[in-house]
Structure formats: structure tokens, C-alpha cells
Structure 1
């Protein structure tokens, strides 16, 4: 299994904003796709020594890294944020738009095709095959507030999932349905929940690492803006 590779300098800061839980299957529920994978809600602090499991290795590519950051003070609205994003090094970032999510949602993302929530899922904007997954753009998401929210990250990547559930995985095009089969087979899967406060954001390889976002336990709505792009690590100072 390949865990999430999270950039952090201080394990204590990662502990302070990260929890971990198992997963559950949800089938034929209103508002959700027919079968989805969700966190089971039994959130716990990271065990002692656990952050080191997510430390990037020498071979971790920039495009495979999860990074949390705080926006510069110069960003005062969506226009200045967009200008900032277009200056981060990718001349052609893909704009994914803005969302406004109510508080109390276990997962927030809605599939544009079905209008339903897919639960933990992988992005397939580029529809890349197994062998090309690491070349995908990373997702950049910023919480514009006013409430806090969470990014949810599976601790196992979709390529590891495919190797488990498909004999001919090399020719397979990974999809969210593979994650559902993996959980049905009772393979081990846990989810990290990292708090993202207003004015903070994250990068993540969401074509490789199953993810979603959540406003569970919050009392205010929150607005996000998101892009896809090829960005080097460290374009913002580290948050954790």
C-alpha cells in the first residue's frame, strides 16, 4: 500500500489538525450515487509516531505531494486569488470554479454528471490510464470561509487499489468504482481528516489519492475555489 505523502515540518502541527477513521459503504441513499465509500465517523487522533508514515520519501514527485498552506495577506478576494494561481508556475491551470457548502456535510463534492455525491473518489478530468496516473495535475483548493472545513484523504492510493482488485491492472483505467470494490473485499482502508481554516488551502494528487471534503461538525458554511495544475512543491511556505 502507498500512503498519502504529506509535506510537514513538525509532527505536532500535523497531529493538531489531523484525525483518522475507518470507512463504510453506503448504498442507495438519497443524494448519493448508488454505492459510495464514506468515513465511518469514528474519528480519532493520529496514533503516536503515526505522522512519520506519511512523510515524503526521496522518490516522491512534486505531483504526488499533499501540501497545506496559508494564503498571502495580499489575497483579498477571488480575483486576486485567481491572479495568484496563474502566477504559480503552470501557465494553463484548469479552473474548477467555486462551491458553497452548508455546514454538517460528511462529504461535500457533487458529481457534475449525476448531481449526486460520489463519496471518496478520484478525479478523472484527464482520464489517465494506470501507467500514466502520476502525470496528472494536482488539485489546488482554497477555503474562502467563513467556516472551517476538512479535506479527506484515503491512506491508500488508487494504483494500489487497482493492483488488489484487477488481474490485468496495467491496462486498466482507474476509477472510483475500484475503491468501492476494494472496500467490498474488506481490504484495509483508513481516511485522514485535515482541518482547513479560512484563508488556508491544500494541494493534493486527487487523480491518484481518493479524497473528498467535509463540513461535518462545523456551524458555518464555507466557500471554496479550486484549480488543477502542474505545480512544483513549496510554492507557498509550509503550514504544518
Structure 2
């Protein structure tokens, strides 16, 4: 299933969203070799682009990207922010601080290198179960703006392309995307701007993604929670 973004007003999506393709890194010291990153330049999306991202009524919530206004965090209670949203098993993963002007933000904790665009693997899902993982709720704590970057090609489609003979036996991974891009196959990625206090719910186990502060002159901290939520559980910003 491709990328689907929930929106009520196409104009608001057009104001926030841009598109580009991706490339594989080579000898870039801050990145793991072969990481998938935006190729740039970022271009405004057209009305046709926006309409192609619209979520059909039958789209499962687990595969839906929503741009939302999370509850305002109370001092000392950030870990409980997602508790009222309906999933008693929601976990608080903590915060991540991104420096200004980072093309992507996620680092390999073992060596500090940036991993580029990736898919999460918190739920350890097989190929058939990949669309049924938890979504991630993210809140931009500021002080600067940041972006959600999300890919249009899902992990199942990439797994089938890279491993046509045994894809059903595999667990789709970031390495599948790296192999796919290294072979010269195009992947479109979209970035959506998030001001402080804004956030997203996204299927990060299923879609290529990362954060970004590219072009921003202030750092941005973000907090994260994986969980299972129905669509429209939080107010939409678009």
C-alpha cells in the first residue's frame, strides 16, 4: 500500500509539503555508506501530487500518515502525554535533539553516524505483518521547526522488488531500501513542515522516513511514542 496522508483541505497540505527523490550516500563521513538520503532540491507539490496522496475511506489507520496537534505537555508528565489516546500499551521512547540544518536526524547509537532514511523495526514484523505495526506519534518540542520526511514506496513493495524469490519469508528492512536505491530505482519522498507544538502519527515500521531540520537555523527536540490509534484521534492540522 503506498503513502496515504490524511487531510481535510488540500490547500493546507500544499502549503506544508514538498517532494524530491533520493540517492545513496558514498564517501560522506557523517553517514553510513549506502544510506538513503534526499537528493534535492525540494520542490512544491502540485494539486495532482496532493490528490494522489489522499487516503481512501478504506485506508487502515495503521498505514495512515496524519499531521496532528498533540496535547500540550505538562511539566514533568511528558511520558504520559499519549496515555489518554486509547492505547494502554503506548510506550514513551524519549526525546531526540536535532541540530540546525540536518538533512536527516537519526544516528546509529553505536558509532554516532547518521543512518539516513529508514524503516523502524520495534515490532519485529514479517513481510505479511508489516502493514499492521504500531504507528509512531511524534511531537516537535522546539525551539525550532522540523520536518517529517516520508517515502511513497512501502516496505512490502520494496521487499518484493529486491527479493522476488523469497520475500514472504523475510522481514522488510532499511537494507532493502538501500539495495533498491543503489540499483538505480527511483523513490519519491515528501517532507512536511512541523512547527513547535505540532506533530505526526505515521507508520514508521512500514514507510521510509526520518526527521530533518534542513534549512532551519535553530535546533529541534522531538518526543516519540509508538502505539495503536484510530484515525482522527487527534485534531488534524491539514
Q: Which residue of 2 aligns with 1:135?
A: 132
Q: Which residue of 2 aligns with 1:121?
A: 118
35-44 or 108-117, which deviates more: 108-117
Determine if contact 1:26/1:36 at 8 Å carries over to the other structure.
Answer: yes
Q: Which residue of 2 aligns with 1:154?
A: 151
Aligned CA RMSD, in angstroms, stands at 1.4
Q: Which residue of 1 aligns with 2:178?
A: 180
Instruction: Give structure 1 stretches of 5+ with no counterpart.
Output: none
1:84-122: CA deviation from partner (whole Å, max 9, x where unpaired): 311111101122110111101000011234432111100
CA distance in 2, matches of 1:54, 1:76: 30
CA distance in 1, matches of 2:75, 2:206: 28
1:139-167: CA deviation from partner (whole Å, max 9, x where unpaired): 11100111000000011111111111112
Determine if contact 1:3/1:53 at 8 Å carries over to the other structure.
Answer: no
Q: Which residue of 2 aligns with 1:70?
A: 69
Q: Which residue of 1 aligns with 2:22?
A: 23
Q: Which residue of 2 aligns with 1:219?
A: 217
CA distance in 2, matches of 1:113, 1:57: 40
- What secondary structure sits across from 1:49 in the alignment? helix
Determine if contact 2:146/2:193 at 8 Å carries over to the other structure.
Answer: yes
Determine if contact 2:21/2:39 at 8 Å carries over to the other structure.
Answer: yes
Instruction: Give structure 2 stretches of 5+ with no counterpart.
Output: none
81-90 or 62-71, which deviates more: 81-90
- What secondary structure sits across from 1:16 in the alignment? helix
Q: Which residue of 1 aligns with 2:227?
A: 229
Q: CA deviation at 1:179?
A: 0.2
Q: Which residue of 2 aligns with 1:200?
A: 198
Q: CA deviation at 1:48?
A: 2.9
Q: Which residue of 1 aligns with 2:98?
A: 101
Determine if contact 2:106/2:116 at 8 Å carries over to the other structure.
Answer: yes
Aligned residues: 237
Determine if contact 1:21/1:190 at 8 Å carries over to the other structure.
Answer: yes
Determine if contact 2:17/2:45 at 8 Å carries over to the other structure.
Answer: yes
- What secondary structure sits across from 1:3 in the alignment? coil
Determine if contact 1:149/1:195 at 8 Å carries over to the other structure.
Answer: yes
- What secondary structure sits across from 1:174 in the alignment? coil
1:174-221: CA deviation from partner (whole Å, max 9, x where unpaired): 110100111122222111010010000000001100100100000111
- What secondary structure sits across from 2:214 in the alignment? coil
Q: CA deviation at 1:232?
A: 1.0
